[in-house]
Amino acid sequence: MTPRAPAAMGAWSPVWLVARPRWLAFGLLVAALAGAASADPPALAPLLKTLDLRGYPSRTAPPQFSGRTLGARQLSMTEHRGRVILLNFWASWCLECRSEMPGLERLHREFSSRGLVIIGVNARESKKAVGRYATELGLTYQLVFDPDGKINALYGVIGFPTTFVVGRDGRAVAFAIGPRQWESAPARALIEALLAEPVPGTAVR
């Protein structure tokens, strides 16, 4: 059973602050900003609500990490600056992950050319197990290994699937604990809205 977020939970779960002291400083930063108003466009708010996504206060930056992919290359969050990122934490034994990931694959195929990046972070499984799973589901988006659980701990993941949404400017937009209908009309509208935002460093005409 996937843990659900408490009704009173803020932008970043205080449970994670207790359980994950290695990134306490980041958690405290988020907690300090929890009462601030979001700077995201008003149009995003109803989409986040419809998808039951928890939004972040303005200027919240997600933790940076790097990891080895199934294709044996080193991937980092910083290399995707200027793109919209769906960062999905999963495991092959997670039934809800299995039902969600084909939809993420279809989004990858549809929107990757426009700037959407989907990254799947696997928890503590072997390359053989991840490769077999990816082949079975036909996954072609980037899958990152987390053999010692450090990336999961960095993000305070307490259940699978957990997905984080990151904007083109590198800000943390929202997160979800548990599966979501990522191919639904509201999810597509959210992705379209985020893709429509200007890429940092480019002139707006």
Model pLDDT for residues 161-204, shown as the tens digit of each residue: 999 999 999 999 999 999 999 999 999 999 999 999 999 886 55
Query: Do the domain assignments include residue 145?
Result: yes
Chain segment 17-74, per-residue pLDDT in tens: 333 333 433 442 343 234 334 446 678 999 999 999 999 988 899 999 999 999 999 9
Please give the structure tokens belonging to residue 98: 């299995």
Query: Do the domain assignments include residue 68?
Result: yes
Chain segment 95-146, per-residue pLDDT in tens: 999 999 999 999 999 999 999 999 999 999 999 999 999 999 999 999 999 9
Please give the structure tokens belonging to residue 45: 């708010």
Query: Do the domain assignments include residue 73?
Result: yes
Please report the pLDDT score of residue 33 as a whole number. Answer: 38
CA distance 95 to 80: 29
CA distance 141 to 124: 19
Query: Do the domain assignments include residue 19?
Result: yes
Query: Do the domain assignments include residue 202?
Result: no
Query: Do the domain assignments include residue 78?
Result: yes
Q: Are 15 and 145 in contact (CB under 8 A)?
A: no
CA dihedral 187, 48, 64, 83 (to 10 degrees): 40
Q: Are 124 and 188 in contact (CB under 8 A)?
A: no
Identify the domain containing residue 107 by its residue range.
14-195
No. of H helices and E strands in the chain?
7, 8
Q: Has this prediction a pTM greater than 0.95? A: no
Query: Do the domain assignments include residue 93?
Result: yes
Question: 134: domain CATH number?
Answer: 3.40.30.10
Query: Do the domain assignments include residue 176?
Result: yes
What is the domain count for the chain? 1
